[in-house]
Structure 1
Amino acid sequence: MLNWNEYRKELATRVGEMGKLSPGTLEGYKALSTAGAKTGHLDAKTRELIALAVAVTTRCDGCIAVHTAEAKKHGATRDEIAEALGVAVALNAGAALVYSARVLDALGD
């Protein structure tokens, strides 16, 4: 299994390198990352649970590493995380079902 703490540290180093090569890209990412929290409609734990579900659906190991630690920091329980992941699984299955219908449509009669 992956050492997630070590991976998160290595990732931070590489993101820092990217920031030096393309500071505007990193600044834009940071602006997007913090924008939702400014509305105050969702608490930090809920945002992290959503982030974990999205991380699974987008298959982003870096997102999983960062947002798992953040979810735990904000008090998310194993059961809450599992429920959020269940939503991700259902959405992926639903998307596959919808795209299966598209294939049948493309196939024609």
Structure 2
Amino acid sequence: MAKVDLNQMYANLSKIGQSIPSVMKAFEELHVSAVGNGALSAKEKELIALGIGVAVHCSYCIADHVNSCLKAGATRDEIMEVLGVAILMGGGPAAAYATEAVQVLEDAGK
């Protein structure tokens, strides 16, 4: 499994933003609004985003949202339970992508 380079992803997103600034500004505002505290906490929303990232097989999403989950105070046990739900919803392919989340956790010392 190749480790994703989030710094390169962010750099490339910045390049996209230079070409289509209104789209990327709107996307960033959507992201901030969607994951902020509300009826669900920011932590809960990041856990949901991680589960979706696993289910749709997005390696960058998995790495980014594991880190965001940890920053929001999620525990390893909470993240592992999210991976279980993602596997339920996504089957075998989701199980394979869940291993990427485990690797990010281990790289973070969790």
If the TM-score is normalised by the length of the shorter chain, which range does it land in? 0.7 to 0.9
1:45 aligns with 2:15: no
Q: Residue 88 of structure 2 aligns to a residue in which SS? A: helix
What TM-score, normalized to structure 2?
A: 0.74
Per-residue deviation at 1:37? 3.9
Residue 89 of structure 1 and its aligned partner are, at CA, apart by: 0.8
Aligned partner of residue 41 in structure 1, secondary structure:
coil
Q: Deviations over 1:5-47 (max 9, x none)?
A: xx11111100000100111221121122122245611111111
| 4+ residue segments displaced more than 3 Å | 1-4
Q: Which residue of 2 aligns with 1:33?
A: 31
Q: Name the structure where helix makes up a greater proportion of residues.
A: 1
The total of aligned residue pairs comes to 91
Listed as ranges, the gaps of 5+ residues in structure 1 are 94-109
1:66 shift after superposition = 1.3
RMSD between superposed Cα atoms in Å? 1.6
**In percent, how many aligned pairs have the same letter?**
35
Residues 10 and 38 (structure 1), Cα distance of their counterparts in 2 relative to 1, 3 Å cut: closer
Unaligned ranges ≥5, structure 2: 92-110
Alpha-carbon distance in structure 1 between the residues aligned to 2:45 and 2:85: 14
Alignment-derived partner of residue 16 in structure 1: 14
Give the Cα separation in 2 of the matches to 1:37 and 1:64: 15
The higher radius of gyration belongs to: 1
